[in-house]
Amino acid sequence: MTAADGVGPVLHATPFSRTVVSAIRDENEQVVVQDEGAYLRVLAPRICRLSRAGLEAATGAAVRFPGELEVVMSSFTGVMALTEDDVVWRLGSEPS
């Protein structure tokens, strides 16, 4: 994966964010996490997916989309589509 085709969230470094990263790793084949101290940059090639169900399984608690993810997400790379059930970051050239 090159930096040019990587997409995903930039998260404040919190325990919840680390759980988000774990869930993203479970749902995507290739994930690179850059730990910048105060934040975590998560990159997957071309498309990065996170399901609410996967995050709930990782946290052991109910999670609200939209809502709880955006609190820890300071930024993202790519185009983001968010529903009640999942969030997908993708390159602008990828079909939605």
What's the CATH code of the domain at 78?
3.90.56.10
Tell me if 14 is assigned to some domain: yes
pTM equals: 0.92
What are the angstrom distances between the C-alpha of 30 and each of 37, 65, 72, 85? Answer: 22, 24, 22, 22
Tell me if 16 is assigned to some domain: yes
Binned at pLDDT 50, 70 and 90, residue 3 comes out as low
Binned at pLDDT 50, 70 and 90, residue 91 comes out as very high
**Which pLDDT belongs to residue 94?**
64
- Provide the domain limits for residue 44: 3-90
* C-alpha–C-alpha distance, residues 85 and 52, integer Å: 5
Tell me if 47 is assigned to some domain: yes
